[in-house]
Structure 1
Amino acid sequence: MTSHCDTLATRLTGVGRSAVAVIGLRGPRAAQCVDECFVPASNASPAMQPGQVRYGTWKSRQDVPGESIVLTPMPDGGFEIHGHGGEAAVNAILASLNDRNVATVDASTWRRNESIIVTEAEHVLQRCVTGQQAAVALDQTRGALVQWCEHWIERLQLAHDSNAPLAQQTVLLDQLHQDARTVCSHGEQGVRLIEPRRLVLAGPPNVGKSSLMNQIVGFRRSITHDSAGTTRDVLQCDTVIAGVPVRLSDTAGIRETAHLTESGASIEREGIRRASLAIETADLLLIVCQPSTLDQRAEFRNELPISNQTIVLEVLNKSDLLVEHERSSFIGIKHQTIASEDDDPGIGKLMNTLAGHLLSTLPPRHSPVPISQRQQDLALRLCQANSFDAANASLKELLTGVAP
């Protein structure tokens, strides 16, 4: 059913048999429809904030049982109705809305007036592989960045219409610059939202990097052996830690090659070159040593091509080889592991630290976050906007994708 009604509903999920269907509802009568049809399961306060969820029943008439749903208010004043995916349940909810002068529209009509930001966020959302990633993208499909742009367009327009004095305009632009810088700082993480974080293990040969990688990943991905130099290439494996996709790289042990034959040294140098490239681009770097190489760790670290943006953790592996009188000397190394033991508590402590650092690489929830390079470039332009006209132009291009 379609009409010229100003309140619209659509099925946001695909048509067909599924466990859950999502119906979108927005427009001036949306809240009234919810008041008339939604019966919450608890006696909690009826006031709800965008993003919150409330379980209950959707009842079109008092004489019918109704449909069990989860209701979520949206930032634009609309709602998402999550219910059973069967056609009968979906059609019953849509029919109850049609009875209240709400038009059911197709997806193209529903999205016709949406900002390009929402469209870009939906494309990113489709490529998310974890709930942590999807939650950030979903905030943007629900309008977090759109609302931020509209808020600033309105503030600038009000100041312009009231012929605000130059001093007041300068203060407002300064506030916009500060706000835009915060958004850009989130965007540095947002544009990489769907990329796996790069976690690299580096250290001298035979300190147990491959065994440690096996423990982190949870299965035997690397080849391990007691002889030094077993890993001669960068072995990679994708995994997820704390809901964050991770590309784990086990690098060649870095050591001197003067004692090797020319052919052996050539292979060794190539392994070290590839290890150095992986280290340069790491988000997190684990520098692994063992008791016999502890006195070399400072010199080893100084020789690595570590970026200023890389988080570095030192790990003392094979800590069971420490003799008793040595333990107090190395208490300053926070992470001490025995990667050859499956139930080593040091591995659990290391995983908790990795989880904390990886979660910090994701943008904050419920905040405006640029999640494409186009969005980030325009947000950066806002940081230097020197007039209301320049700021408005960047904000509107960010919203529409079209330069004024």
Structure 2
Amino acid sequence: MKITGYRTLRTVHDWGRPVGDANGFVAGGVTEVPVLLVETDGGLTGVGLGAHAEADRIFPAVEDQDPRAVTALYDRMLAHTFKSGHGGAVFGTIGAFDMALWDLKAKMAGEPLWRTLGAADRFVPGYASGLDIALGDEELVALYTGWAERGFTGAKIKGGLDTERDILRLGAVAEVLRTNTRSPALMLDVNETWGRHQAVRLLARVESRVELSWIEEPVRRWDVAGNRAVGRAARTAVATGENLTGLEQFRPLLAGDAVQVVQTGSVWGITHFLRVATLAHGHDLPVSPVGYETNPLAHAAAAAPNHLVTEVQDTSAPVGITVDQVIADGGIVLGDAVGLGITVDEAALARLDETAGWAQPAGPHVRPSAAGLRLVAESGPAGRTGGDRTPDTVERLPRDGRTETESTP
């Protein structure tokens, strides 16, 4: 069987709530989901999810190749774009193709991908993560009550702009999860919004009142000295890595003993996750995949000996996408459908007329100019506290977390 072509599609995910982090949020709660379909001459189609802006550039590396050689094709794609292949949109596109190739490999074997990868158990432990910085207190409790009803014992909240608010919200979520455990696992993700001058001080303030399992991205992702300083001063573990691409970006952090929980982004592909997991395993460190639509790394996580826990961000799938998995018992229960178990309803996607918001100027994928440069952490515009001034209408985040729209001068 050979790879003959590809198609790109787009769908959306309606979260039913605002989603985002300290850098900004999507108030409407609708975000885009790029879909990549890789076609073969045998009639099978592989599904990859994630941004694929460089598909035209990447495809010649896999055209007419046997999809079963997926790890070799991953390196072939990197070699095909070796001057830019380990970063940004190129690496993301390689990840989408890689996901589709693994889907094809397992489909050709007639089994779910977790079987192809050698996992013995279909259950993947998870933690709840609501991308919840814009939710009010009552909305936050309602959201995590739903997670608790599905058996979750751990949760991660988004914060970093107001430590007092973060402490109260962590306590509220812990109280909800105590229906399942006496000691909930709590994580705080500040998404690189602190600077070195803040991180140790602010984390100490949180730790004085809350027991954390980890602090996520307390400083910039590549800051070995900064992450190590946080880890040395704190009781909690430092987790980072979701935005790192290529093993060469992980090596300095691991060599510098600057990370205790190694993370990988789902959008970078399955081969990348497997290699990062092996590198972390060689340093006796756990690995934790960061969530994405349909939890595509769950199959690989099930096979990783040092998998700690997988982030689960929502219980629903994007429009027109179905996935053979169940979110229950505090994790992901993978099904028996072949490949990734993802089915795409192209007719439903063709009918879409919704707009989506990850790329909006006030959204979480746009780093504010004041990030890492604030002296105080206090409630204000999500991602704009501490001096960012724009003439546009932006979403502001008052102390109680409810969103309101104001015009900045």
Same fold at TM > 0.5: no
Which has the higher relative contact order, 1 or 2, with Cα contacts under 8 A spaced 6 or more apart?
2
The answer to which structure has the higher strand fraction is: 2
With normalisation by structure 2, the TM-score equals 0.24
The answer to which structure has the higher helix fraction is: 1
With normalisation by structure 1, the TM-score equals 0.24
